[in-house]
Amino acid sequence: MLRSYVAFDIETTGLSPAENEVIEIGALKVREGKVCERFIEFIKPRFSIPASITRLTGISNEMVDSARSREQVIPDFLQFCGEDVLIGHNILFDYSFIKKNAENLGHSFEKQGIDTLKIARVVHKDLPSRSLGVLCEYYQIKNPAAHRAYHDALATAKLYQTLAHYYEEREPQIFQPSVLVARSQKSLPATQKQRKLLERLAKERGREQTWEMEQLTRAEASRLIGAFLSGENL
């Protein structure tokens, strides 16, 4: 069993590292099997948090209003990770977001990791789901605040230790760290039609334009247009 590592989890505004934002990072540094350091921080997004994400995570726009920006938080998290192996549940999802943000800020983030979801798919083919929630229930791992980054990271660390205890001797290969390869996604720029519609909506509603029109992606433009049309606060 790996005795020293960083377990982490993030909460985001959507599923695409290229189009959506990280709003919370939770991580714990383990040394010789014990938690020695924690990283728990909100990130203030550039755009408002969709209501569906607030319902899922409990994270509201008010909660992140005074948070630091990604330009401040991401470098601190990279430093926290150091040279450690990363552990996560469906780790490539979380890693892809952090790597994309790191690259956007001019930082490298090449890591090795262990995925508890990948392990569970091998040793628990009998279960109808290998979600973190289902596995925590199966092993009676308490997670009082599911879908909050630090609590999910802590639950993942406990799950890893439990799985290693029962299965590493039998299936040693699936417990070996491997190089993490992030999913590559490109952001498409906003169309001319989207830009003109945004300018018109902002003018009609007397809203100050707080975004960089030339840097706006197609997904971000759609999000802003939807917010304008629904009367949502930007």
Integer Cα distance of 72 and 172 in angstroms: 39
CA contacts within 13 A on the Cβ side of 203: 6
Tokens for 35, please give them. Answer: 């938690």
Q: Distances in Å between the alpha carbon of 163 and those of 70, 87, 138, 189?
A: 33, 13, 11, 44
Whether the per-residue pLDDT at 217 is higher than 90: the answer is no
pLDDT tens by residue, 66-104: 999 999 999 999 999 999 999 999 999 999 999 999 999
Domain ranges in the chain are 5-179, 192-230
For the domain made up of 5-179, give the CATH fold. Nucleotidyltransferase; domain 5 (3.30.420)
Between β-strands 22-31 and 112-115, what pairing exists: parallel, antiparallel or unpaired?
unpaired
Quick: pLDDT tens for 184-195. 666 678 898 988
User: What separation in angstroms does the CA of 17 have from each of 31, 32, 114, 169, 207?
Assistant: 30, 33, 20, 36, 28
Confidence (pLDDT) at 223: 76
pTM: 0.82
